Amino acid sequence: MPSMASRYSQRPSGPDDDKRRSFKDGRRALLEQRRSLPIASVAEKLVEHVKKSDTLVVIGETGSGKTTQLPQFLHSAGFCKGGMMIGITQPRRVAAITVATRVAEEMGTEVGKEVGYSIRFEDVTSPVTQLKYMTDGMLLREALLDPLLSKYSVIVIDEAHERTIHTDVLFGLLKGVQERRKCAGFSHIHDNKLNSIGQNTAAEKQVAVVSNGHSLFRKSTGPLKLVVMSATLDTKGFCDYFNGATAVYVQGRQFPVQIFYTYTAEADYLEAALLTTFQIHMEESLGDILVFLTGQEEIESMERLLRERATHLPETALKLLVVPIYAALPSEHQMRVFQPAPVGARKVILATNIAEASLTIPGIQYVIDPGLVKARAYNPHTGVESLAIVPVSKAQAQQRSGRAGREAPGKCFRLYTEDSFAKLDDTTVPEIKRCNLANVVLQLKALGIDDVLGFDFMDKPCRTTIVKSLEHLYTLGALNDEGKLSDPLGFRMSRFPLEPLYAKAMLVSSEFGCSKEMLAAIAMLSVESLFYTPRDKIKEANNAKKRFASQDGDHITFINVLRIYSLEVDEGQRGGDVDSSTLDRRASKKTEKVIRNWCTANYINGRSLRRAIDIRKQIQGHMESMGLPIISCGEDMLVFRRCLAASFFLNAARRQLDGTYRALSSRQTVSIHPSSVLHGKKPECVVFNELVRTNRSYIRSITQIDSLWLPELAPQYYAALDLANPTQRSLQS
């Protein structure tokens, strides 16, 4: 077949030419797409504003090009000169990864080089990185090591409208950093002026230690520019908070979206979403479908149901290509949502809230919105934090339906009634007002900000919540009697990328001699849905689980999964591969297959298992860097269970006469979740790690303990033996 190129070139074209040409074509297409984005027309204006003011607020419709383009404009304008970086925060891991990958592609480089990302448990950057996409939580962690964020010339706080807890803390923190970087004399960390404004913080002292007493801040790095980007119009709040910062609006394109409501409330929204998907697929013209679900488990079960039922579609029908996207999905799979559906197929994207604003997925014409979101909820009076599925706000529902009208007029199917919509809250309450703040308070303390109540929050969290968090940290021993970070416990706890309770558990376990087991348990607790139970194979899945089950509870069951996996897969692989140098791609593919087969046979979710193994490695790194030993208690699980009691005494529950349980610290009535190996076993006393609220309160990830261990191992919390009335020592205020 004659090549198209022969029309333009006399030279016979080889395969390399084709590659080069398609590469060039691809680059050109990318460039054209970039130029057509709404933000392109205001590029110069944006750069000018950043040059002349400290803080800029950018408001623009999702998809207008804020996240991918603005950092590149600043990069071209020279903001990365002299080895400085531009940091862009994202509330979500997935967004950080996919956006960095996209921007790397646009800049003609590989992710990890000039453009990189950093998320908890994964750092894909290098010394040449200039644009760094990261979760807001990671930037907070960086501030612990480098309180002036001296490597950054600009920090872009993206998706500010999401108002995650970390974003809100960053607001206050960055305002302070800006002030301090304005002082010309921050070249010495022992500078008096800096001391007087609280700059010589505990964290800085640590830096001084790390750098052998040499200040890391010898070189003046100039002012810190701040860009706050948001997809909603709540400009005033941001501008007021940032001392009257200028706002620039990026005009987006939005086509009309037709909204449909159900006539009556849907009892089973998953089933309703499933039916609606097929209805759209059979009746509506081409265009991809985006379904908003609440979490990984839901997405996975929907994915299976869709695949099963799609096999019954008539032969002539379009194919249905199902692509999931959620935080725990391995990055290589996350990019699949951006690939267009092949000819003859329609793409159905099953997404968590992530697709609401942080990700712009091209090609979507239909949105299915059950109107729910998984959110953290906190009761400051009981001190209980739980994950609950709650209705979205009106603003969220609108944002979701907007996803259907980015490229052409679209349709949004809300799986609830118009009446229910009218009753939704207008906007979402910032996370900082509905979360346990223990982690944030610990981070602030580690940054040397002792007066947490006086911290410059954009929206102040309620006082009770802060006091409760201080109490919590005090009970865990992270704070001393003066309310300062304790040494070494509090310092060490703040170093772990874990909730304070888990960080403490790691430290306790090294004293108990079971840190290897705790490491495994906490890694497993950090992933969602380890066991995989298809609806049509419940019996088989439950049987498979029995192989790992420990009668003592879920923590040991988790450990067993990792142990048996290691024995059967890791060791097997090692034995099988005679020469490690032959471990080429074929071999690693083989390994992949062995792992996958093992997971399938054992009804284990391979994605979750892999992530857990990765997390275990990372936490182990933190332990080792603190010089803490990784020791195993071997077969002596009594030691481990006592360690769990000593670590999670705040989450203990006791059986009541009617068979339900009473959480000892909150006095709440709870039940054992059906997914627990202890379900139906009714042990007298347990510790748990998770509280899930559906129609009732369930505890999950549970291990049975002896109630007498509580006063023995946590005497500061449980007055001797009087377990019916646990007294709580409060922090003196």
Binding interface with Mg ion (CB under 5 A): 66-67
63 binds ligand CDP (CB under 6 A): yes
Choices 59-67, 122-130, 137-145, 503-511; region in contact with ligand CDP by CB under 6 A: 59-67
Measured distance between the N- and C-terminal CA atoms of the chain, rounded to whole angstroms = 84
Give me the least distance between CB of 65 and ligand CDP, in Å please: 4
- Report the residue closest to Mg ion, judged by CB: 67
Give me the least distance between CB of 98 and ligand CDP, in Å please: 4
Which residue lies nearer to Mg ion by CB, 61 or 298?
61
Give me the least distance between CB of 58 and ligand CDP, in Å please: 9
Residue type present at position 683: P
Which residue lies nearer to Mg ion by CB, 91 or 726?
91
68 binds ligand CDP (CB under 6 A): yes
With beta carbons less than 8 A apart as the criterion, state whether 401 and 706 touch: no
Cα separation, 478 vs 494, in Å, equals 9
176 binds ligand CDP (CB under 6 A): no
Which of 49, 66, 75, 495 touches ligand CDP by CB under 6 A?
66
Please state whether beta strands 384-391 and 685-693 pair in parallel, antiparallel, or not at all (unpaired).
parallel
Which of 121, 261, 278, 338 touches ligand CDP by CB under 6 A?
338
Which of 55, 294, 296, 360 touches ligand CDP by CB under 6 A?
360
Distance of CA 628 to the CA centre of its chain: 27
Q: At what angle do helices 165-182 and 438-446 cross, to 10 degrees?
A: 20
The three-class DSSP label of residue 549 is: coil
Dihedral sign computed on CA atoms, order 206, 211, 215, 216? negative
Residue type present at position 152: Y
DSSP conformation letters of 139-198: HHHHHHH-TT-TTEEEEEE-SGGG--HHHHHHHHHHHHHHHHHHSTTTT-TT-HHHHHTT
98 binds ligand CDP (CB under 6 A): yes
362 binds ligand CDP (CB under 6 A): yes
278 binds ligand CDP (CB under 6 A): no
60 binds ligand CDP (CB under 6 A): yes
Number of H helices, E strands in the chain: 27, 21
Choices 45-53, 60-68, 480-488, 580-588; region in contact with ligand CDP by CB under 6 A: 60-68
Count the Cβ atoms, other than its own, within 10 Å of residue 17.
14
Q: Which does 330 bind (CB under 5 to 8 A by kind): Mg ion, ligand CDP, none?
A: none
Helices (H), 447-499: 463-475, 489-495
* Residue 384, token pair as written in the block: 């209980």
62 binds ligand CDP (CB under 6 A): yes
Which residue lies nearer to ligand CDP by CB, 158 or 552?
158
CA angle centred on 118, ends 116 and 121, rounded to 5°: 140
65 binds ligand CDP (CB under 6 A): yes
| Binding string, residues 5-44; x marks residues near ligand CDP by CB under 6 A | --------------------------------x-------
With beta carbons less than 8 A apart as the criterion, state whether 430 and 238 touch: no
Which of 46, 49, 55, 64 touches ligand CDP by CB under 6 A?
64
Q: Which does 98 bind (CB under 5 to 8 A by kind): Mg ion, ligand CDP, none?
A: ligand CDP
Q: At what angle do helices 66-76 and 43-52 cross, to 10 degrees?
A: 60
Summarize as ranges the residues that interact with ligand CDP (CB under 6 A).
Answer: 37, 60, 62-69, 98-99, 102, 338, 360, 362
